[in-house]
Amino acid sequence: MTDMTKQDQVLIFDTTLRDGEQSPGATMTHDEKLEIAELLDDMGVDIIEAGFPIASEGDFEAVKQISERSKNSVICGLARANLKDIDRCWEAVKHAGKPRIHTFIGTSPLHRAIPNLSMDEMAEKIHDTVTHARNLCDDVQWSPMDATRTEHDYLCRVIEIAIKAGATTINIPDTVGYTAPRESADLIRMLIEKVPGADEVIFATHCHNDLGMATANALAAVEAGARQIECTVNGLGERAGNTALEEVVMALKVRNDIMPYQTRIDTTKIMHISRRVATVSGFPVQFNKAIVGKNAFAHESGIHQDGMLKNAETFEIMRPEDVGIAGTSLPLGKHSGRAALRAKMNELGFDLAANQLNDIFVRFKELADRKKEVFDDDLIALVQDEVVQGGTDVLQLKRLRVVCGTEGPQEAELTMSVDGEEKTIDATGDGPVDAAFNAVKMLYPHNAKLQLYQVHAVTEGTDAQATVSVRIEEDGRIATGQSADTDTVVASVKAYIHALNRLIVRREKTSPGGDRREINYKDVH
């Protein structure tokens, strides 16, 4: 890696586990959060925003354990502008080698109106809360939420107060994805020029993607002097999401001629973390997504394929291996042994423990019996499926038989374990998937509405595995599920059951007396 001076270094602040996890349905389990934090740390992320410790016991424990296990990354927790939030945040992050408190308040007229604070009252609150955070921790980040819709004079005034009170990083959030590249740059430039003390802190950019400009806005802010980009893997996040980590990092790498800034990210780890975040969050990556989409390096048209064969640079501005996509390698088959499977898994970025490898090997053999060639994508789908089907889940698929064909109604006979008790039922429906879903609902009655049902073939050929994604909603709670199988109906039922299991966990967390409180961002008192 090239030597980085302070001027050309851009810090990568990843908020997949906080802002990303906030997106409806993307809730991750404790172990999933620890795994993603470890991957982020290993890939060279400078700062990991690990969660919102006051939100629940679960969030607190996750931030605390991520802090305890951290290696090189700074571990940051989020806190609203009140002393209780900040104290709780510190209790969680203080275990890190490099802890950070990130506290924020909405400064735009719309946001000031909600706690009904005057400009002066809010300024005083900012002074008090940042001072309190700085007395606990040497590394304090402060954010004026909705900065891009805050009056410039007021923004300058409150940033100056935060700097004087001890903030070391000033983050400028475009909370509703409203700004555009030129305006994003002008704002950062104006703040650096006008705010006394601006040269003593790092300015960060935090962009949402409502108008599809998050990555462009973040890069424009860097060109104007911001030296920290806030982002998430796959651009995960509320509504249209956030700046995508892989996009900013690869843009800075590929166009270093015009944007001469460096990051510490090991780009060869991008693909693996992207797949893991897609699986654990239940948000599949769209096929044509930049860098990490399935088609990002696929060349369909004759002209493109011809050009690629003659010289890959004709149609590729980066090499697949730069982002960790393994070169074409031979598929495995039913004669492949455990050692070949282990080697392939390592090549794909999965570091499996001996017992995990054994489980995957059994499933690989089953798959190889049904499918002539087992490709890399098949194996990735298999590992991801293994991870999402937990042995302790309330609902588990035991057996499924369907009758389908031109004469309806189609039928499904389903055996499912519900809280440890095996139950069987017959159901009919408009097609085998509908019949099977009706059967699930009869064995486990619920009011969740199906919002999304999506099927994709993992590879080519009629024996390809299908990956199915399902999203359900019940009383405002959203849960997603995914599964893969060569039998599309089986994959569908497993994905549906996976979503229901996640919903059950969410219900427990958000019920009165349950773990997670609904977070009110405006609750500053």
Residue found under tokens 């249209």: 240
At closest approach, how far in Å is the CB of 90 from ligand KIV? 17
Closer to ligand KIV at the Cβ: 232 or 467?
232
Q: How far apart are CA 147 and CA 140, in angstroms?
A: 18
Q: Decide if residue 19 touches Zn ion (CB under 5 A).
A: yes
Which listed residue (145, 163, 195, 478) binds ligand KIV by CB under 6 A?
A: 145
Q: How far apart are CA 147 and CA 488, in angstroms?
A: 47
Cβ atoms of 58 and 515 closer than 8 Å: yes
Q: Decide if residue 206 touches ligand KIV (CB under 6 A).
A: yes
Per-residue binding string, ligand KIV, 85-124, x by CB under 6 A, is -------------------x--------------------
Hey, what's the torsion of the CAs at 155, 161, 167, 168, to 10 degrees?
70
Q: Which spans in 167-231 are helix H?
A: 181-194, 214-223
Q: Decide if residue 19 touches ligand KIV (CB under 6 A).
A: yes
Q: How far apart are CA 425 and CA 398, in angstroms?
A: 12
Q: How far apart are CA 364 and CA 380, in angstroms?
A: 11
- Which does residue 203 bind out of Zn ion, ligand KIV, none, counting CB within 5 to 8 angstroms by kind? none
Closer to ligand KIV at the Cβ: 21 or 473?
21
Q: Which spans in 269-396 are helix H?
A: 270-281, 302-310, 338-347, 354-370, 376-388
At closest approach, how far in Å is the CB of 410 from ligand KIV? 46
Which listed residue (70, 103, 107, 175) binds ligand KIV by CB under 6 A?
A: 175
CB count, 10 Å around CB of 483?
26
Q: Which two tokens stand for residue 338?
A: 């455990």
Closer to ligand KIV at the Cβ: 145 or 345?
145
At closest approach, how far in Å is the CB of 463 from ligand KIV? 45
Q: Decide if residue 143 touches ligand KIV (CB under 6 A).
A: yes
At closest approach, how far in Å is the CB of 104 from ligand KIV? 5
Q: How far apart are CA 456 and CA 219, in angstroms?
A: 33
Closer to ligand KIV at the Cβ: 25 or 481?
25
- Which does residue 104 bind out of ligand KIV, Zn ion, none, counting CB within 5 to 8 angstroms by kind? ligand KIV
Closer to ligand KIV at the Cβ: 241 or 429?
241
> Which pairs with CB-CB distance under 8 Å and at least 24 residues apart come from 421-428?
422/398, 424/399
Beta 169-174 vs 140-145: how paired, if at all?
parallel
Closer to ligand KIV at the Cβ: 19 or 32?
19
Q: Decide if residue 149 touches ligand KIV (CB under 6 A).
A: no
Cβ atoms of 270 and 43 closer than 8 Å: yes
Cβ atoms of 80 and 122 closer than 8 Å: no
At closest approach, how far in Å is the CB of 143 from Zn ion? 9
Q: Decide if residue 173 touches ligand KIV (CB under 6 A).
A: yes
- Which does residue 43 bind out of Zn ion, ligand KIV, none, counting CB within 5 to 8 angstroms by kind? none
Q: Decide if residue 251 touches ligand KIV (CB under 6 A).
A: no
Binding site for Zn ion (CB under 5 A): 19
Binding site for ligand KIV (CB under 6 A): 19, 104, 143, 145, 173, 175, 206, 208
